[in-house]
Chain A
Amino acid sequence: MTIRSVLIANRGEIAVRIIRAAKALGIRTVQVHSAADAEMLAVKLADEAVDIGPPAPKKSYLNIEAVIAAAKAAKVDAVHPGYGFLSENGDFADAVVAAGMAFVGPSGDAIRLLGDKVSAREVAARAGVPTVPGSGGRVLTLDDAHRIAERTGFPVMVKAAAGGGGRGIRIVETLADLEKQFPLASAEAAAAFGDGGLYMEKVITRARHVEVQIFGDGENFVHLYERECSLQRRRQKVWEEAPAFELPQVVRKKLCESAVALAREVRYTGAGTVEYLYDEETREFYFIEVNTRIQVEHPVTEMITGVDLVQEMLKVAGGAPLSLKQDDIKPRGHAIECRINAEDPFKDFAPSPGTITKLVVPEGKSVRFDTMLYEGYTIPPFYDSLLGKLIVWGETRSECLERLAKTLEGLKIEGVPTTIPLHQTLARSAAVASGAFHTRFLEGWLETDFTETKTKSAEVA
Chain B
Amino acid sequence: MSKIEIKSPLPGTFYRASSPDTPPFKADGDAVASGDVIGVIEVMKTFHEITAQDAGTNITFLVDNEEPIMPGQVIAEIEQ
Contacts and interface: CB of A to CB of B under 8 A. Distances in A.
A194 B60 CA distance: 42
Nearest to A384: B45
Interface string B2-22: 000000001111000000000
Interface range, B side: 10 to 19
Given A56-B13, A353-B11, A381 B66 contact: no
Contact of B43 (A36, A54, A58, A351): A351
A308 B44 CA distance: 29
Contacts of A36: 68
A415 interface: no
Contacts, number: 38
A385 interface: yes
Most buried by B among A351, A380, A383: A351
B25 to A, nearest CB: 19
Contacts of A350: 46
A382 interface: yes
B68 A384 contact: no
Given A54-B68, A56-B66, A56-B68, A384 B13 contact: no
Interface in A383-410: 383-385
Contact of B44 (A55, A56, A58, A381): A381
A342 interface: yes
Contact of A351 (B13, B46, B68): B46
A216 B66 CA distance: 40
A357 to B, nearest CB: 17
8 contacts: A343-B44, A351-B43, A351-B44, A381-B11, A381-B12, A382-B68, A384-B44, A385-B44
Interface string B30-52: 00000000000011111000000
A63 to B, nearest CB: 13
A350 B13 CA distance: 16
Nearest to A382: B13
Contacts of A382: 12-13, 42, 44, 68
Interface string A359-393: 00000000000000000000011111100000000
